[in-house]
Structure 1
Amino acid sequence: MNSTAKGNKLEDELFKYLIDQKDRGDRVYDLYPSDLCKIRKKPKYDCPERKKPVEFDVVIEVYREGRKTPHSYVVFECKNYKSGIPESRVTDFSDKMGRIFGHSVKGILVVSTRLQSGAENIARSRSMGIVKLNDTGLDVVADRRQWQTVESAFVKSQIFEGENDVKSLKFSAYFDGRFFSSIGQLLECFGRDADGKQSSGVSRVSVPYISPDDIRAFATEVLEGVDYKAGAVDLKAVCAAMSLKLKFSRKNVFDEDGMLILGSANFDRNSIEINAHDNGFRERFTIGHEIGHFCLGHGCYLRSETVIERDLLVDAEASESFDITRLEVQANLFASEIILPDQVFRIAVEVGRKRLDMRDIGFGGIYVDDNPWTYQPYNQLISDLSQYFRVSREATEIRLKKLGLVNDQRKYGDAGANLIGRIFANIQT
């Protein structure tokens, strides 16, 4: 795809994003109803200086009640670059806007990937906004009623390159030293500035903590609704009972960092889409994860959500975690509860333990260390439970440990146990 085609694709994404917001009736500038705004793609405006029309990528024209001419303009310039935008392009864009609109305009550079930190200085010197938009990632509007909804540090990490990768947002923006997680927030800032008013500075409400017991209660209620008794949970039936549309795509979809996107959820459409998986059991956990977002009311904080592999491994919050991490932890806890239901799982563990003659000799009902005579039956138990519930071995072992059913004293992990097991087998033969 050449640079022009890439730029057009980004323009299409931005235009659709804005039209969707307008169709939802979101207020622009925090004051003007969406029906007083016109969103135009590839509009041309007369330029007396050049004596010919000048074209822009996407423009929002904002009208006051009863007026036929725009009160102000928000002009977007789409640059689908892999690195920082050259200063000359910023200057050209700024000059072009000045010739057409004078001072009644706000200019925004739209990019598809993170920028080098030098772009911040360029944006400041030219009074430009920077927006990152791509066709994957999270569409976060959390909490939708609040002025600032996602931590500034998290949004900053979306736009400028840093040491650590974080989960991608679909939309993030920077303007005048502030960071925004939705276009509504950004336009609200422009509108207040244009009217000479300051931001109201409403404080952000964090995503609330939900206890594991409450998450278990939610999952139990869902399972009762589909009359679950034992074995692998019918996740398609769960989706149907919750009026969720479950779709499967066998395509490989990647985010901007090259990570495989396992699935996605759209909260406005009540839909879940699952992409290609190399493991059917992991696919079930992905479905359970997405169902968890819906069941736990995460639609209050997200309009869309994507799952990559590392999301399924998040089981605890660090002190510096973002709100999005809390949402992922909650969704994973729910997935574990609904795919490995508490009471049935405990019964299955006890049946498996007795069948494998795993006796309590003072160290607990399930004890494992690096010796093959403890590791081998433990390994078999995990395999049996994995097959019975149709969930990955990793998720099964995490569940055992979370419920406190295992006394794991291994020093070398699976690799060490397998090595010792092979040595022991050779000695026996």
Structure 2
Amino acid sequence: MSTTKKGDELEIAVFNFLKEEIESNRFPVKKEFCRLHRQKGYFSRDRGSHIFFDVSVEVWLPDAEDYSMLFLFECKNYGHAVPVNDAEEFYVKALQVGATGTKPILVSTNALQSGALNFCSSKRIGVMRYFSKEDLKWVLRRSASVGFAPSDSQSDAEIMAGLTLTDYHSSVFELFMQSPIRRTNSLAEFLHDLAFLSIEDRNLANDISNPLPRRGSIVRYLSVGELECRASAALCEAGINSSYVDLSELCSRLPAAKEIRIEHRPATESSVLQNTLARISFNPPLIEIFTEPNSHAGRDRFTLAHELGHFLLGHGAYLKGEQYDDTDQPEAGKTIDGDNDVRRLEYQANYFAACLLMPRDRFIEVFSAQLHRFDVRNKELGVLYVDSQKCNLDTYFSVTNRLMTVFGASRAAISIRLAGLGLLRDVRDDLAGT
């Protein structure tokens, strides 16, 4: 792909991003005051000619003869980190078309060299690193950088990594940004800093500004009881009442799952490097499971059940696609349901998968039989208690081995299910930290 074509693609992406924000009245300045342009020229007295900028947003007050604020976006779509001389050149161009009210913003698909980032910070140039949706782990129908509240931004160190590491991979945020006063994943917060940090007329700022977003998740809250009921209803509708749930059989019998295409693919070098276990898309409905010769059957079953959970719980209303990897395997089910959209979606899919693969009544029945078999008694420490003592470890492994065999699940999934039902107290992590 030519350098020009790559640059055009980034310009178009940034232009469309800003257009949606302005038209939806989510830009920091109200839409009636904004004019968006691509490749517009601004006159430079030093040159005696116009300088053209990739994307610009002009802020016009009512009845004004000229704009009072100008956002200038310079787009860099490089295969390498942006050097400091590019930042310096952009700064000089921005100064030539108006120092007062001009908000220069450098946008890049790659990292910035440390010198470039430091120069931008010293000159109050905004910095945005842009990740295309195809490269994200979770692709939301509404960008996380737009839809999440500023408080959902990642840590400062993580954002710094996103801005400076060429091989950094973003999970959910399309934008990693540095404003004159902070690093953030929130586009509204970033642009608000640039627009109003130095404005002296606070009444004017209040008249033309949109408030920063303050909201929780838009994903509907589902209690553990409701997730349990939905999994049970799916099994009932498919006519499956055995301990071992055959997911292929469930999909063939369940009307809501019949349109989902499931493809098992050998793991590629790329998927192995990224620890990718599965990938889904909602239009058309497709689940791809990546398997290796030594793949764990229980892990693969939980992966498929998790992805089915996204479809059967209606997560297509929020997600366009997802990549599921080792870090999501059911250990993530321990995290509580939160206000962050992605955390809530993943929690629901993980808990639903556990309920689907390990139906509650049958699971408790088999578990109780194992307690009786190994003469495990509740000593007020928990129904099944495990710490670092050999006797408790032996009991834990003996009980969970049988559950793994009956339900075709990994030990991690079995443990999560037991803990979710209040049947397991595992204090090994607590003891390791003391």
TM-score (structure 2 length as normaliser): 0.64
CA contact (8 A) 1:130 1:173 kept: yes
Deviations 1:74-117 (A, max 9, x none): 4132254766x544321211112333566565332234466688
Counterpart-to-counterpart distance in 1, 2:263 and 2:112: 33
1:29 counterpart letter in structure 2: F
CA contact (8 A) 1:157 1:166 kept: no
State the match for 2:414 in structure 1: 396
CA contact (8 A) 1:115 1:159 kept: no
Q: Give the SS at the match of 2:241.
A: coil
CA contact (8 A) 1:223 1:238 kept: no
Counterpart-to-counterpart distance in 2, 1:120 and 1:86: 9
Counterpart-to-counterpart distance in 2, 1:175 and 1:380: 53
State the match for 2:76 in structure 1: 78
**1:100-139 equivalences in 2 (<5 Å):** 100=97, 105-112=102-109, 121-135=118-132, 136-137=135-136, 138-139=138-139
State the match for 1:149 in structure 2: 149
1:359 counterpart letter in structure 2: R
Out of 215-224 and 319-328, give the one that drifted further: 319-328
Shift of 1:310: 0.8
Shift of 1:34: 13
Identity in percent: 21
CA contact (8 A) 1:139 1:171 kept: no
CA contact (8 A) 2:33 2:59 kept: no
Shift of 1:151: 2.3
Is the alpha carbon distance of 1:233 and 1:326 closer, same or farther for their aligned partners in structure 2, counting shifts above 3 Å? Answer: same
State the match for 1:276 in structure 2: 290
State the match for 1:160 in structure 2: 160
Counterpart-to-counterpart distance in 2, 1:392 and 1:265: 22
State the match for 2:175 in structure 1: 171
1:277 counterpart letter in structure 2: T
Q: Which stretches in structure 2 are left out of the alignment for 5+ residues?
A: 163-168, 430-434
Counterpart-to-counterpart distance in 1, 2:104 and 2:269: 32
Are residues 1:385 and 2:400 paired?
no
1:94 counterpart letter in structure 2: Y
Q: CA RMSD in A?
A: 5.5
Shift of 1:346: 3.5
Q: Give the SS at the match of 2:247.
A: coil
Shift of 1:241: 0.9
Are residues 1:286 and 2:303 paired?
yes
CA contact (8 A) 1:189 1:199 kept: no
Is the alpha carbon distance of 1:143 and 1:46 closer, same or farther for their aligned partners in structure 2, counting shifts above 3 Å? Answer: closer
**1:26-425 equivalences in 2 (<5 Å):** 26-27=24-25, 29=27, 31-32=30-31, 37-38=36-37, 40=38, 43=39, 45=41, 49-50=46-47, 56=53, 58-60=54-56, 72-78=70-76, 80=78, 85-100=82-97, 105-112=102-109, 121-135=118-132, 136-137=135-136, 138-139=138-139, 149-151=149-151, 153-154=153-154, 156-161=156-161, 167=171, 169-181=173-185, 183=187, 186=190, 196-197=205-206, 200-205=211-216, 210-230=222-242, 231-234=245-248, 236=251, 241=256, 246=261, 248=263, 250=265, 252=268, 259-264=274-279, 269=283, 271=285, 273-274=287-288, 276-278=290-292, 279=295, 281-293=298-310, 305-312=322-329, 313-317=331-335, 324-325=342-343, 327-347=345-365, 349=367, 353=370, 359-363=373-377, 370=390, 378=399, 380-387=401-408, 391-405=409-423
Counterpart-to-counterpart distance in 2, 1:91 and 1:159: 23
Deviations 1:222-245 (A, max 9, x none): 444544433223464599616975
CA contact (8 A) 1:253 1:260 kept: no
Counterpart-to-counterpart distance in 1, 2:214 and 2:59: 30
Deviations 1:131-174 (A, max 9, x none): 22223224568898998615255164442039xx9955233333
TM-score (structure 1 length as normaliser): 0.65
Counterpart-to-counterpart distance in 2, 1:157 and 1:288: 34
Q: Give the SS at the match of 1:161.
A: helix
1:196 counterpart letter in structure 2: A
Is the alpha carbon distance of 1:290 and 1:238 closer, same or farther for their aligned partners in structure 2, counting shifts above 3 Å? Answer: farther
Shift of 1:374: 5.6
Is the alpha carbon distance of 1:320 and 1:52 closer, same or farther for their aligned partners in structure 2, counting shifts above 3 Å? Answer: same
Counterpart-to-counterpart distance in 2, 1:189 and 1:124: 13
Counterpart-to-counterpart distance in 2, 1:16 and 1:243: 35
Q: Give the SS at the match of 1:75.
A: strand
